[in-house]
Amino acid sequence: MRVFVVGGTGFVGREVVRLLLARGHTPLVLARRSRPLPEGAVLVEGDIAREVPDLEGAEAAIYLAGIIRERGQTFRAVHVEGVRNLLRAMERAGVGRLLHMSALGARPEAPSRYHRTKAEGEALVRQSGLSHAIFRPSLIFGPGDEFFGRVLRGLVCAPSPSSPSSGTGASPSDPCTWGTWRRPSWGPWSGASRGPTTWWGPRSTASASSYSW
């Protein structure tokens, strides 16, 4: 299957591209400029914040784009307008399946613009009418990630985000490794779901399954 991947050159995106290749799929990776990709992946040049080019025969799409700081790009441009642009491109191309990565703590009333714009992106996906899955991971760390490297080098603590749990109150951040998150029996690769599902680490109580290709 040809799968259009937005955010395929970032930390999570690179691993998702490798995972797709390992499962026999062809990732079409959107990037603003030429980037080295694993053998079998196809580079599609374009900018998600402006307009998504032709999806080149894709049968499904994955949206992984996200920023944690507004440097040159804004949260709204990436988390909201980027999602809107992909949905329009999917409609033009007749692509009907989307896996969307949001974030733990995404909700309209969140105190941070990061989480509020993530919630807006989720709303666009839900309103699209597409077959979709939305997943809200906590912090994902592993070889090549930038966030935890900065935390360790700076000896600082990151604020702990929270999200609604299955009961009352909030569920604290529980970072997970990429190796755990990518396991076929756990995380956003195991089943099918149309609603947001939260994972915040190996001790997550989320029981809903998610998308499969």
Global pTM value: 0.75
Count CB atoms within 10 A of the CB of residue 129.
10
pLDDT at 117: 97
DSSP notation for 51-106: B----TT-SEEEE----SS-SSS-HHIIIIIHHHHHHHHHHHHT--EEEEE--TT-
Distance CA(159)–CA(167), nearest Å, equals: 22
Distance CA(192)–CA(190), nearest Å, equals: 7
* Paired strand residues for 164: 170
pLDDT at 195: 54
pLDDT at 139: 67
pLDDT at 26: 96
Say yes or no to pLDDT of 168 above 70. Answer: no
- Reply yes or no on domain 2-199 having CATH 3.40.50.720: yes
User: Which residue did the predictor score with more confidence, 167 or 48?
Assistant: 48
Query: Mean pLDDT lowest for which of 78-82, 115-119, 191-195, 202-206?
Result: 202-206
Say yes or no to pLDDT of 24 above 90. Answer: yes
Torsion sign over Cα 132, 163, 120, 149: negative
Say yes or no to pLDDT of 188 above 60. Answer: no
Say yes or no to pLDDT of 158 above 60. Answer: no
Count CB atoms within 10 A of the CB of residue 156.
8
Q: Predicted confidence band at 33 (pLDDT cuts at 50, 70, 90)?
A: confident
pLDDT at 27: 96
CA atoms within 13 A on the CB side of 22: 9
Q: How far is CA 177 from the centre of its chain?
A: 15
Domain residue ranges of the chain, discontinuous segments joined by +: 2-199
Model confidence over 83-138: pLDDT tens digits? 999 999 999 999 999 999 998 889 999 999 999 999 999 999 999 999 998 988 87
Model confidence over 51-68: pLDDT tens digits? 888 897 999 999 999 998
User: Which residue did the predictor score with more confidence, 130 or 167?
Assistant: 130
| Mean pLDDT estimate for the chain | 76
CB under 8 Å, gap of 24 or more: what pairs does 68-72 form? 68/114, 68/147
In order of 10, 15, 69, 75, the CA distances from 147 in angstroms are 12, 16, 11, 17
